[in-house]
Amino acid sequence: MTIKEVISIIEEQIAMPQAEDFDNVGLLCGIPDRNVSGVLVCHDALENVIDEAVERNCNLVVCFHPIIFSGLKSLTGKNYVERAVLKAIENKVAIYAIHTAFDNDYSGVNAGICNALGLKNLKILQPKKNNLKQLTVYVPNDYSEQVKETLFSAGAGNIGFYDECSFKIKGSGTFRPIEGSDPFSGEQNVRENADECMISVIFENYKQNQIIAAMKDAHPYEEVAYQIYSLDNENQYSGLGMYGEFDEEMDEKDFLKFIKNKFNVEVIKHSDFTNKKIKRVGVLGGSGASGIKSALAKKCDAYITGDLKYHDYFLAESKILLCDVGHYESEQWVAQQLFEILSQKISTFAILKSSEKTNPVNYFL
């Protein structure tokens, strides 16, 4: 199996185009057609992790954070990024990063946190905006099912936990072929009346090119009549953060003890107590100050994230308990999630979890 084929397996589960625009996901270094000897999954592809990959005969490292985030103007080993990339290149180790593609995935980072906490009735905290489009296409009645099936196969009509969603209306269309045309039916310079139907489907915007290409390939007309609309609807199944509820509420101090145990941390920074019970909880792995207002809007009793700054805690205003468990600590289940995704699909070579420490934050207790 090649690196390219392993990447295809990953991308069947995690849609890379849902990553944030500022991010750098995908294959960061390595030759896609090279055969894979083993895969090492990790949080950060640091130099010690590349050493581990070489030692354990893994020539593909699948990581969460991209080691190359901004542009590299040289590769001389002058910093930790260049040293890791140089070592990977010298040892023919490929590096593939998923970062915010997995942050935005419904089954990604934040689902991992919620599942570890036992939260139920999960919903996206900050649903993606400007992410959905609607396609309307006019098709001869006899070809409507063929075109519809093709649209579904190309990824149209997927809405959350439903697929093959569409709407169809029958009607009558007109057209007149003129000189230069090669019509499917009718004669040049004669208006044609056709029994047609209008098929409507919704899709995520990154699928547009593949859906339009598939539609045109399946459609019998030389010129396909269709429209694409950008929707104001938020995508309720893609976005940053999640929130859910406990079966039983708990008081704030018991809640802090609970998450301290679940996250296996010695210390939790938190805002003032609200003197309310905790039942609905929002989470956002990594640096999550941007989700505080959303957690308040969703009426969360508590919000768990990392990297909160001094002034962020004032935003709680005694309405919500803000909890900073640490950046790395909030994302600690990612390597296991990646391991499970790949292990379920690949049995021809080893899928291994890194045992190297990559959390740069230490605590003196």
pLDDT band at 252 (very low <50, low <70, confident <90, very high): very high
pLDDT tens digit string along 67-81?
999 889 999 999 999
Round the average pLDDT of the chain to a whole number and report it.
97
Q: What percent of the chain has pLDDT over 90?
A: 97
Q: Please report, in angstroms and rounded to a whole number, the separation of the first and last CA atoms in the chain.
A: 47
* Average pLDDT, integer, range 307-320: 98
As a whole number of angstroms, the distance between CA 276 and CA 154 comes to 48
- Contact between 206 and 18 (Cβ < 8 Å): yes
| pLDDT level of residue 186 (50, 70, 90 thresholds) | confident
DSSP state string for 321-333? EEEE--HHHHTTT
- Strand ranges, E, within 51-119: 60-65, 94-97
Distances in whole angstroms, Cα of residue 292 to Cα of each of 250, 288, 354:
21, 7, 32
At 103 the pLDDT is: 98
Q: Give the tokens for residue 248.
A: 């039983």
Q: Do 60 and 2 meet the contact criterion of CB atoms below 8 Å apart?
A: no
Residue type, 234: E
Asked whether residue 365 carries a pLDDT value surpassing 90, the answer given is no
- Residue 344 gets which letter from DSSP? T
- Model confidence over 81-97: pLDDT tens digits? 999 999 999 999 999 99
Question: Residue 207: its pLDDT value, please?
Answer: 97
Rounded-to-integer distance, Cα 60 and Cα 40, Å: 6
- Would you state the pLDDT for residue 216? 98
Distance CA 214, CA 254 (A): 55
Residue 151, pLDDT > 90, answer yes
**Type and span of the H or E element at 257:** helix 252-262
Query: Which has the closest alpha carbon to 218: 170, 164, 154?
Result: 154
342 pLDDT band, cuts 50/70/90, is very high
